[in-house]
Amino acid sequence: MASSLFLPFPPPSTTTSLTPRTPLFSSSPISLRSRSIRPSLLQLRASAAVDSPTHPSAKPSVPPQIPYPSLPFRVGHGFDLHRLEPDLPLIVGGVLIPHDRGCEAHSDGDVLFHCVVDAILGALGLPDIGQLFPDSDPKWRGAASSVFMKEAVRLMHEAGYELGNLDATLILQRPKLSPHKEAIRANLCELLGADPSVVNLKAKTHEKVDSLGENRSIAAHTVVLLMRK
């Protein structure tokens, strides 16, 4: 997580909704899309994507309780960047990727999962990942980023939305991600409860320029479309 903004939250409301505001939290249970869930895939493939024993569930350090207008569609964008340092594991999308260095981070440094979480939170109009799971909270030290993904998906369903589609782009000079793309995409689909047809993943280099192109950092962009259920 790279966010370091700690703005007063929630901010004062200055907008007027066209429809009755609905509370984010409700008593209804989580309902995943039955058409897109394959029970055999509900167990995470990569060990890095499995909750650590010390993090059986992810409850945000700052519980989000932001009411917002009920819209049929919501778009969210996520961006994340991590510094790469020697002798650290490189975990991308829950997959441990062999490399000479990995992400410097408070959690497992999964730049893609962080980015997707921020896109979902952004679409919901919620605080970013750095505010919900601050790196100042020791309980997130070394946490598998799948716990953040699960919490973002839970919030999405609780707010009455489901994933329309997701498009993500990873930026790193090396190693090549092509051998790992399908495993990463499968992890995304499992955590999102989404069919592969609506989860797209791209990867590109940074043309050897700047920190991204010099193997000193890794970044990701994600756009999501959420649809009211």
**Which residues here bind Zn ion, judged by CB under 5 A?**
1, 80, 114
Taking the complex as a whole, how short is the minimal distance between the CB of residue 64 and Zn ion, in angstroms?
A: 18
Whether the Cβ atoms of residue 94 and residue 46 lie closer than 8 Å to each other = yes
**Tokens, residue 148:** 């953040």
Comparing every residue's Cβ against Zn ion, the nearest one is 114
With H, G, I as helix, E, B as strand and everything else as coil, classify residue 222: strand
- Quote the DSSP letter at residue 44: -
Residue among 4 and 17 whose Cβ is closer to Zn ion: 4
Taking the complex as a whole, how short is the minimal distance between the CB of residue 34 and Zn ion, in angstroms?
A: 32
Taking the complex as a whole, how short is the minimal distance between the CB of residue 15 and Zn ion, in angstroms?
A: 29
Taking the complex as a whole, how short is the minimal distance between the CB of residue 105 and Zn ion, in angstroms?
A: 6
Residue among 105 and 123 whose Cβ is closer to Zn ion: 105
- Quote the DSSP letter at residue 41: G
Q: Which residues on adjacent β-strands are paired with residue 56?
A: none
Whether the Cβ atoms of residue 172 and residue 12 lie closer than 8 Å to each other = no
Q: Rounded to 5 degrees, what are φ and ψ at 222?
A: -145, 140
Residue among 107 and 161 whose Cβ is closer to Zn ion: 107
Residue among 74 and 82 whose Cβ is closer to Zn ion: 82
